[in-house]
Amino acid sequence: MNALPVATVSLILVSLCSAGAGSLQSTSVDQTAGPRTESPVKRRSSAPVTASADLAIKVTASPDPVPAHWPIIYSINVTNLGPDVATSVTVTEPDQSFPGIGFGSFTLAPGESKMILVSHTVTSEPGSAFVFTADVSGDQTDPNLDNNTATVSTAVVPAVPEVSFISIDGKNLVVTGFGFDDGAVIVLNGEDRKTTAGQPIALQSLIGKKAAKRIAPGQTVTVQVRDANGNLSDSKLFTRALEPRGL
Pick from 133, 124, 183, 204: which is nearest to 156 by CA?
124
Q: Which residue has the higher pLDDT, 176 or 14?
A: 176
Per-domain residue ranges of the chain:
53-157, 162-239
Q: Are 176 and 185 in contact (CB under 8 A)?
A: no
The CATH T-level fold of domain 53-157 is Immunoglobulin-like (2.60.40)
Alpha helix ranges (H) inside 131-244: none
Sequence-distant (≥ 6) Cβ neighbours of residue 127 within 8 angstroms? 156
From the number of C-beta atoms within 10 Å of its C-beta (0-12, 13-18, 19+), residue 132 rates as buried
Predicted confidence at residue 42, as pLDDT, reads 56
Question: What local confidence, expressed as pLDDT, does residue 39 receive?
Answer: 56
Residue-wise pLDDT for 23-55, tens only, equals 434 444 454 455 555 555 555 555 567 899 999
Q: Where are the beta strands (DSSP E) in 31-112?
A: 53-62, 66-67, 71-83, 86-92, 105-108
- pTM of the predicted model, to two decimals? 0.57
- The total of other beta-carbon atoms located within 10 Å of residue 236's CB is 17
Query: In the CATH hierarchy, which fold is given to the domain comprising 162-239?
Result: Immunoglobulin-like (2.60.40)
C-alpha to C-alpha distance for 167 and 53, rounded to whole angstroms: 51
**Residue 190 DSSP code:** T
Give which of 95, 59, 104, 94 is closest to 79, Cα–Cα.
59
CATH topology match: 53-157 vs 162-239: yes
Report the chain's mean pLDDT, rounded to a whole number. 80
What is the pLDDT averaged over residues 7-34? 41
Q: For 121-170, write each residue's pLDDT tens digit.
A: 888 888 999 999 999 999 999 999 999 999 999 999 988 888 989 999 99
